[in-house]
Amino acid sequence: MTIWRNAVIATLICVAATSASVAFRVQALTSGPATELAAKGASITARIALTDDPKRRPPRAGHFHQESYVVQATLKTIQMADSRQAVNVPITVFASGRDWSALLPSQHLEVTGRLARPTPGDLVAAILLVRGPPRVLTPPSDLQTVAGSLRSGLRAAADVLPPDQRGLLPGLVVGDVSRMDPQVASDLREAGMNHLHAVSGANLAIVAGAALAISRLIGLSLPMRAGFAAVAMIAFAVVARPSPSVLRALIMGLVAAIALGTGRARDGLAALSATVLLLMLFAPELARSYGFALSVAATAGILVLAPRWRDRLSRTQSEEEERDTSSGESHDHREPGLGRGDRECRDAKKPPCDGSGTSRRIPVPRWVAEAVAVPAAAQVAVTPVLVLMSGQLTPVAVLANLLVAPAVAPATLLGFGAALVAPPWPEAASLLVIPAGYAVGWIIRVAGWAVDLPFATLPWPSGLLGLGLLGLTVAVAIPILRRRAWRTMALTIASAALVAVLVIRPIAGPWPPKGWLMVMCDVGQGDGMIVAAGPGQGVVVDAGPDPVAMDKCLNRVGVDDVPLLVLTHPHADHVDGLPGVLRNRRVGAVVISPHRHDARSAAHASATLAQRRIPEWTAVPGTGWRFGPSQLTVLAPDPAMIEIQGQGEGSAINNASVVLHVRWRAGSILLGGDLETEAQEELLRRAPVRADILKTPHHGSHRQSPAFLASLGARVALISVGADNDYGHPAPPTLALLQRLGATAYRTDQSGDIAVVERDGGLAVVTRGL
Alpha helices per DSSP H over 222-289:
222-240, 244-262, 268-282
Under the phi-then-psi rule, with left for phi > 0, alpha for psi from -120 to 50, and beta for the rest, what region is 610?
Answer: alpha
How many CB atoms are closer than 10 A to CB 234? 15
**What contacts 24+ positions apart, CB below 8 Å, involve 493-500?**
498/454, 498/455
Q: Are 123 and 285 in contact (CB under 8 A)?
A: yes
pLDDT attached to residue 674 = 93
pLDDT attached to residue 263 = 61
pLDDT attached to residue 495 = 66
Q: Are 435 and 362 in contact (CB under 8 A)?
A: no
Q: In what order do the strands lie in the sheet with 762-767?
A: 616-618, 590-592, 565-566, 538-543, 528-532, 516-520, 754-759, 762-767
Would you say the pTM of this structure is higher than 0.85? no
Q: Are 28 and 89 in contact (CB under 8 A)?
A: yes
Q: Are 577 and 550 in contact (CB under 8 A)?
A: yes
Q: 124 in helix, strand or coil?
A: coil
pLDDT attached to residue 332 = 44
- Least Cα distance to 574 among 712, 677, 671, 718 occurs for 671
What is the rounded CA–CA span in Å between residue 496 and residue 494? 5
| Bridge partners, 566 (sequence order) | 541, 591
The DSSP bridge pattern shows strands 528-532 and 538-543 to be antiparallel
Which positions of the chain have pLDDT values less than 50?
61-64, 265, 317, 324, 327-352, 354-359, 505, 508
- Least Cα distance to 608 among 579, 580, 574, 581 occurs for 579
What is the rounded CA–CA span in Å between residue 77 and residue 447? 47
Q: Are 608 and 577 in contact (CB under 8 A)?
A: no
What is the rounded CA–CA span in Å between residue 334 and residue 332? 5
pLDDT attached to residue 333 = 44
Q: Are 168 and 234 in contact (CB under 8 A)?
A: no
pLDDT attached to residue 459 = 72
pLDDT attached to residue 122 = 82
Virtual torsion, Cα 518, 523, 524, 528, nearest 10 deg: -50
542 phi and psi angles, rounded to 5 deg: 70, 155
Q: Are 535 and 562 in contact (CB under 8 A)?
A: no
Residue 21: partners with Cβ closer than 8 Å, 6 or more residues away: 280, 281, 282, 284
What residue type is assigned to position 479 of the chain? Answer: P
Running DSSP on this structure, what letter comes out for residue 513?
A: P
| Bridge partners, 540 (sequence order) | 530, 565
- Least Cα distance to 168 among 417, 456, 412 occurs for 412
What residue type is assigned to position 33 of the chain? Answer: P
What residue type is assigned to position 386 of the chain? Answer: L
- Least Cα distance to 646 among 606, 727, 704 occurs for 704
pLDDT attached to residue 59 = 59
**Predicted confidence (pLDDT) per residue in 351-361, tens digit:** 445 444 444 55
Virtual torsion, Cα 399, 405, 411, 412, nearest 10 deg: 120
- Torsion sign (Cα): 331, 336, 339, 340: negative
**Predicted confidence (pLDDT) per residue in 572-586, tens digit:** 899 989 989 998 899
Running DSSP on this structure, what letter comes out for residue 380?
A: H
pLDDT attached to residue 264 = 58
What is the rounded CA–CA span in Å between residue 543 and residue 521? 9
- Torsion sign (Cα): 136, 141, 144, 148: positive
pLDDT attached to residue 265 = 46
